[in-house]
Structure 1
Amino acid sequence: MAYGSNLHAARLACYLRGGRPNGGTQDYPGCRDRRPPRRAVATALPGTLYFAGRSLTWGGGSAFYDPAAHGDVPCRAYLLTIGQFSDIAAQEMLRSPGTDLDLTPALTTGRAELGPGRYETLLHVGELDGHPLLTFTAPWGVAGAELNAPAPPYLRTLAAGLAESHGWGPWRSAGYLATRPGASGHWTPQAVAAVLDPPTPLSPRSG
């Protein structure tokens, strides 16, 4: 279940096939199974998206999900194999892909902390057509996070994902992104919209 830059299929493809996302500074090795997702569905989760820490790929804050906070988060559910999900999670956790995760604790209790760092907390957030919905986030919520504003290339990728998955126009995306914790007070909807115009083509390129 993607809620950040992986809303955009081209960015997710860098995790699957390997490469560097346009606007990013980091290369990814890719998954053992480099096939595209078998299905992608737009959906939403209760909670909020916030920006915190510092992204090694984009600079600025990274997007995280707090299921306990008020609001709704537009998401995109991808149908992946366990191996693909494990390898994507490993790359998000700054680990080497190649080992399947034991998803039993997360599926049983709804949550499993694989480490103290960013994206090392697995969440089981529901079911869709008989498949479990899994995502990863930080162990802390928005109240305990070191908030940090996102960088322009990251905002463009997020907006491209919102347009692709939910059909949002630039002004709707700008209004949403600018009001998320971490971005609010640094970005205005007008400033985000200016970053998105003209839009930057987003497609994976080899590293």
Structure 2
Amino acid sequence: MVRVQVWYASYGSNLSRERFLTYLRGGRPTGATRTYPGARNQAGPEDDCPLTLPGQVFFGWHSPTWGGGIAFYDADSAGATLARAYLLTDQQFADVAAQEMHREPGADLDLTHVLRDTRHDTGPGRYESLHLVGELDGRPVLTFTTPEPAVLQRNSPTAAYLTTIAAGLRESHGLDVEAIVDYLLECPGVAPAWDRDALHRAVSGPVRS
């Protein structure tokens, strides 16, 4: 089967390249409790670059991997989402999506609908709404999120999760600590559990397990 390339736009912990590579090569991210099997094709991304998407990141659900809320993308909200796009094969993208849903990788995704309609809900799960968010170098930019952002319960993230996101924002967008704190405070679910001082401490240091 001929594989095609797509850009996967990450906006949560996968902003960190080290963390994202556990979806491809397997392993346990620093600060997490889960070990990932990895993708069928464990080659690293061919390229990656920073992106800014319309819409807003919020934190919700309760992750057994991180112990608190995790990042979701609301395409219909006002704001700007700082993202990092990784150039993958369509098979790798499918395997990343499967592991996000705590499924074993191995099944391909039919991208026909999302490429035609810009959105396709493949199921009711928290990361089963595929979105076409743009095009880069002639290839589609895809991401996934919850099908119903408005109804998913907001929940504050853990320090380890926030520190992982901060590492990715530094790597991909070159943000300093103050800019990272400003960005995170705009994301629903962060406050009131996290104020500016607590966020500053969390994103200034190493990932805590």
* Comparing 179-188 and 31-40, the one that deviates more: 179-188
Q: Secondary structure at the match of 1:79?
A: strand
Q: Higher strand proportion, which one?
A: 2
Residue in 2 that maps onto 1:184: 191
Matching residue within 141, 150, 175 for 2:157: 150
Q: Please tell me whether the aligned partners of residues 171 and 189 of structure 1 are also in contact (alpha carbons under 8 angstroms).
A: no
Match of 1:71, as an amino acid? G
Aligned equivalents of 2:28, 2:131: Cα separation in 1: 26
Q: Count matched residues.
A: 201
Residue in 2 that maps onto 1:205: none
Q: TM-score, normalised by structure 1?
A: 0.94
Residue in 1 that maps onto 2:106: 98
Q: Please tell me whether the aligned partners of residues 133 and 141 of structure 2 are also in contact (alpha carbons under 8 angstroms).
A: yes
The Cα shift of 1:201 comes to: 8.7
Residue in 2 that maps onto 1:4: 12
Q: Please tell me whether the aligned partners of residues 15 and 88 of structure 1 are also in contact (alpha carbons under 8 angstroms).
A: yes
Residue in 1 that maps onto 2:171: 164
After superposition, what is the alpha-carbon deviation per residue over 1:118-146, rounded to whole angstroms, capped at 9, x for unaligned? 101111111011000000000112x3220
1:108 corresponds to 2:110: no
Aligned equivalents of 2:195, 2:208: Cα separation in 1: 23
Give me the identity figure in percent.
49
Match of 2:185, as an amino acid? A
After superposition, what is the alpha-carbon deviation per residue over 1:155-176, rounded to whole angstroms, capped at 9, x for unaligned? 0000000000000111211221
* Comparing 50-59 and 178-187, the one that deviates more: 178-187
Q: TM-score, normalised by structure 2?
A: 0.93
Structure 1 residues 43-62: aligned runs within 5 Å: 43-62=51-70
Residue in 1 that maps onto 2:48: 40
Cα-Cα RMSD: 1.3
Residue in 1 that maps onto 2:141: 133
Gaps of 5+ in 1: 203-207
Gaps of 5+ in 2: 1-8
The Cα shift of 1:11 comes to: 0.6
